[in-house]
């Protein structure tokens, strides 16, 4: 049933004073003759906008037939007002508006006589302090990453156990039921879908944690302070305090970050920001670093990962500065006019909405795109039929053809090349491909009694509970001097971690990860770039990033070898 | 009575009454939109760690402007 409500609308019309009102009335009359616009917008509003010298409205009216005369009339009106008041019409209008607001406030609002220091003020005293402001910001970032990486690990392990255990078994059981057990379909399920997709799903807890903490920073109001603290730096490298937000989002996913540049008013600022966004290492690259960190630098994993993030930021700064002085030189600078809202305790609902909005996109990508890529890859690796060594498969041949190009970076083998190629589809697919190449196929079915369905469910439930407890303990252990994890915490390495150790040297690992950090954004991010800035700039983006990645990775590898590190 | 100064030259804790907002274009209008209009009371709250931007208090809320933007705003200090 549709209820039609009659709403009595009070239209508050601000009185702009006799002189301004006279000009408004004259303009209104002329505008109402341009009936095309007057149908969509109130003529009075258009008249006010013209007097305020609003560029968009001017252009819109100018494009109409007869519009040029209206613009000329508006210019004359503005000049007249300037003569009378000695100030721009825009100022006069804003003045009257605030006069109206002040009057209203006087009637309805009682203010305390003595203004006391609010909690927000007290927090700001510390957080935006001249000495402490920047260290606190860096500390906040560090805590976010530490909590994200350590806190999510137990859940990742749990998810890994669930996917490679019960879920894999259930699938096989179903295949057995319909008579496909032991055929190539079981291999596709086990080595293609479970090994590939599962390897990526394991990292979903990581992303959820990251988005959770970013949402808390944002909803509490701290992000605005971060922009305030960081604007000077951003400004000096040719960016804007507002570039900061998309860039932070870039740590989550380049796609929403690219869209987030829309909040910037200046087109050049926006394009420069977007061009360096991909250097803010996205969440999908984190699984790659995390894997290699666990395999090669288990005791310094957080430092290895943080190092890559900082390295990305470093290149973002260098490239932004470079672009500002070359490709995007000149142009009007955008102002920094930002409200610092009072601090609020984030609501759980708000945080989860933010978290969900950002994760949802990735989850869909992870399920749909990655699953299809894994299936296609499984076929390429297993074709021609009966191929024994993946090297002889179609996939191996394509990758081997590309590999020589990567030789100077130290990773000129077909496995690494293949993983990087699939990385264009989605960065986290690098992991999926590697587990496909290094682990898939070799996974012999575990012997012993098959657990029942009830056992499986119990295992899943108990595992989740334990993961939650462990995660809580790790997070608390971040506080210096507290260690609830008891000693070194010998973790069981996954099959992939063990496998990777045999294929890379530490120097190759560094070069490989730096290349993953810098090279071409994934296809989804590229698509977003095309839709926002056009094909030309998207190609420019993909091209310069890949070139940069190749050069930097090559330098690292070659210099490292000269120093005897390889 | 008061002394006319540029808003960018006020020290934290100092207050003033806006008498003129210079500049042009969208930046100018946006500053006006945020309530920085002649007659508004504005107070310097603090300066960012690297000396720029500056945080102001007006109309019961906090607004941040860069020095170069605050340079266009003339205030009368009491």
Tell me the ipTM for this assembly.
0.91
Q: Is the pLDDT of residue A511 over 90?
A: yes
**Residue reference for tokens 């995390």:** A290
- Average pLDDT estimate for A154-175: 85
A334: number of Cβ within 10 Å = 21
Q: Is the pLDDT of residue B14 over 70?
A: yes
pLDDT tier, A370 (very low <50, low <70, confident <90, very high otherwise): low
- Chain A contact residues (CB < 8 Å to B): 52-55, 87-88, 90-91, 94-95, 97-99, 111, 124, 128-131, 133-134, 228-229, 231-233, 235, 241, 265, 332, 334-342
Q: Which two tokens stand for residue A18?
A: 């006799």
- Average pLDDT estimate for A167-189: 82
pLDDT digits (tens, 9 = 90+) for A281-321: 988 888 899 889 988 998 888 889 989 999 999 999 899 98
Q: What is the model's pLDDT at position A59?
A: 87
- Average pLDDT estimate for B53-61: 90
Q: What is the model's pLDDT at position A447?
A: 47
What is the SS3 string spanning A136-189? HHHHHHHHHHHHHHHHHHHHHHHHHHHHHHHHHHHHHHHHHHCCCCCCHHHHHH
Q: What is the model's pLDDT at position A132?
A: 87
- Chosen for mutation from B44, B49, B57 (greatest number of chain A CBs closer than 10 Å) is B49
pLDDT digits (tens, 9 = 90+) for A24-43: 999 988 888 876 666 678 88
Residue from the list A91, A133, A332 with its beta carbon closest to the beta carbon of B48 = A133
Tell me the C-alpha to C-alpha distance, in Å, between residue A347 and each of A217, A263, A356.
12, 24, 14
Exposure string of A282-317, with b = 16+ CB inside 10 Å and e = fewer, is bbbbbbbbbbbbbbbbeeebbebbbbbbebbbebbb
User: What CATH number belongs to B3-77?
Assistant: 2.30.30.90
Question: Across-strand partners of A462?
Answer: none
pLDDT tier, A512 (very low <50, low <70, confident <90, very high otherwise): very high
Tell me if A366 sits within 8 A of A200, measured CB to CB: yes
- Would you call B58 helix, strand, or coil by DSSP? strand
Q: What is the model's pLDDT at position A443?
A: 44
pLDDT tier, A169 (very low <50, low <70, confident <90, very high otherwise): confident
Whether the full predicted model's pTM is greater than 0.90, yes or no, is no
Q: What is the model's pLDDT at position A191?
A: 74
Beta-carbon separation of B29 and A228 below 8 A: no
Q: What is the model's pLDDT at position B28?
A: 83
> Please, how many CA atoms are within 13 Å of residue A128, restricted to the half-sphere of its CB?
30
pLDDT digits (tens, 9 = 90+) for A86-103: 878 888 888 888 888 888
Lowest mean pLDDT among A352-366, A451-465, A468-482, A486-500: A486-500
Beta-carbon separation of B64 and A265 below 8 A: no
Residue from the list B25, B35, B64 with its beta carbon closest to the beta carbon of A228 = B64
How much is the CA Rg of chain B, to the nearest whole Å?
11
Quote the distance between the C-alpha of residue A520 and its chain's center.
15
Residue of B nearest to A232 (CA): B52
Name the average pLDDT for chain A: 81
Beta-carbon separation of B53 and A134 below 8 A: no
Exposure string of A48-61, with b = 16+ CB inside 10 Å and e = fewer, is bbbbbbbeebbebb
pLDDT digits (tens, 9 = 90+) for A53-66: 888 888 888 888 88
Question: A479 versus A496: which is more confidently predicted?
Answer: A496
**DSSP summary character for residue A367:** I
User: What CATH number belongs to A5-112?
Assistant: 1.10.287.1770
Exposure string of A173-199, with b = 16+ CB inside 10 Å and e = fewer, is eebeeeeeeeeeebebbbbbbbbbbbb
Give domain limits for chain A: 5-112
pLDDT tier, A536 (very low <50, low <70, confident <90, very high otherwise): very high
Q: Among A196, A200, A193, which residue's Cα sits nearest to residue A174?
A: A193
How much is the CA Rg of chain A, to the nearest whole Å?
30
Beta-carbon separation of B38 and A91 below 8 A: yes
Give domain limits for chain B: 3-77
Question: A445 versus B75: which is more confidently predicted?
Answer: B75
- Chain B contact residues (CB < 8 Å to A): 20-21, 24-35, 37-40, 45-53, 55, 60-66, 69
- Residue pairs between chains A and B whose CB atoms are closer than 8 Å: 105
């Amino acid at each position: 049933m549709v209820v039609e409500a009659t709403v009595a609308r009070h239209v508050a019309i601000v009185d702009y004073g006799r002189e301004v009102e006279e000009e408004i009335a004259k303009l209104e009359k002329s505008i109402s003759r341009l009936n095309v616009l007057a149908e969509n917008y109130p003529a009075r509003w258009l008249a006010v906008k013209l007097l305020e010298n609003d560029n968009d409205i001017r252009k819109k009216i100018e494009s109409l037939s007869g519009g040029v005369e209206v613009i000329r009339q508006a210019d004359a009106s503005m000049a007249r007002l300037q003569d009378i008041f000695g100030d721009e019409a825009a100022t006069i209008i804003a003045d009257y508006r605030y006069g109206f607001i002040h009057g209203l406030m006087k009637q309805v609002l009682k203010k305390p006589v003595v203004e006391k220091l609010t909690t927000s003020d007290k927090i700001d005293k510390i957080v935006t302090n001249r000495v402490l402001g920047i260290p606190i910001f860096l500390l906040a970032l560090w805590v976010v990453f530490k909590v994200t990486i350590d806190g999510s690990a137990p859940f990742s392990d749990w998810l890994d156990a669930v996917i490679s255990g019960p879920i894999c078994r259930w699938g096989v059981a179903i295949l057995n039921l319909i008579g496909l057990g032991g055929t190539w379909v079981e291999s596709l399920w086990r080595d293609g879908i479970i090994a590939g997709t599962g390897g990526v799903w394991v990292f979903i807890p990581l992303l959820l944690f990251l988005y959770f903490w970013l949402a808390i920073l944002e909803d509490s109001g701290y992000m605005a302070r971060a922009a305030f603290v960081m604007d000077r730096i951003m400004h000096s490298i040719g960016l804007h305090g507002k570039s900061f937000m998309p860039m932070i989002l870039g740590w989550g996913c380049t796609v929403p970050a690219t869209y987030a540049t829309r909040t910037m008013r200046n087109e050049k600022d926006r394009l420069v920001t977007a061009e360096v966004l991909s250097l803010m290492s996205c969440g999908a690259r984190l699984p790659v670093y995390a894997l290699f960190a666990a395999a090669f630098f288990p005791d310094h994993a957080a430092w290895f990962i943080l190092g890559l993030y900082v390295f990305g930021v470093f290149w973002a700064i260098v490239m932004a500065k470079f672009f500002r002085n070359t490709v995007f030189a000149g142009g009007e600078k955008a102002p920094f006019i930002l409200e610092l809202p009072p601090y609020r305790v984030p609501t759980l609902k708000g945080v989860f909405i933010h978290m969900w909005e950002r994760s949802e996109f990735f989850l869909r990508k992870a399920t749909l795109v990655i699953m299809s890529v894994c299936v296609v890859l499984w076929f390429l690796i297993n074709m021609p039929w009966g191929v024994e060594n993946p090297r002889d498969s179609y996939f191996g041949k394509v990758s081997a053809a590309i590999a020589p190009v990567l030789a100077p970076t130290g990773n000129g083998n077909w496995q690494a090349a293949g993983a990087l190629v699939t990385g264009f589809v989605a960065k986290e697919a690098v992991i999926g491909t590697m587990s496909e190449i290094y682990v898939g196929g070799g996974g012999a079915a575990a012997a012993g009694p098959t657990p029942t369905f009830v056992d499986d469910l119990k295992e899943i439930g108990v595992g989740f509970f334990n993961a939650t407890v462990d995660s809580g303990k790790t997070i608390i252990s971040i506080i210096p001097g507290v260690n609830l994890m008891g000693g070194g915490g010998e973790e069981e390495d996954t099959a992939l971690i063990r496998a990777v150790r045999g294929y890379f040297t530490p120097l190759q690992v560094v070069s490989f990860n730096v290349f993953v950090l810098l090279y071409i954004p994934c296809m989804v991010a590229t698509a977003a770039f095309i839709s926002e800035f056009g094909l030309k700039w998207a190609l420019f983006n993909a091209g310069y990033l890949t070139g940069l990645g190749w050069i930097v990775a090559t330098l690292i590898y070659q210099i490292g070898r000269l120093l005897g590190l390889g | 009575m008061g002394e006319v100064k540029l808003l960018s030259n006020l020290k934290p804790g100092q207050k003033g009454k806006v008498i003129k907002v210079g500049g042009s274009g969208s930046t100018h209008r946006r500053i006006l939109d945020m309530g920085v209009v002649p007659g508004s009371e504005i107070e310097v709250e603090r300066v960012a760690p690297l000396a720029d931007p500056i945080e102001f208090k007006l109309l019961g809320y906090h607004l941040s402007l860069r020095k170069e933007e605050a340079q266009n705003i003339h205030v009368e200090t009491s």
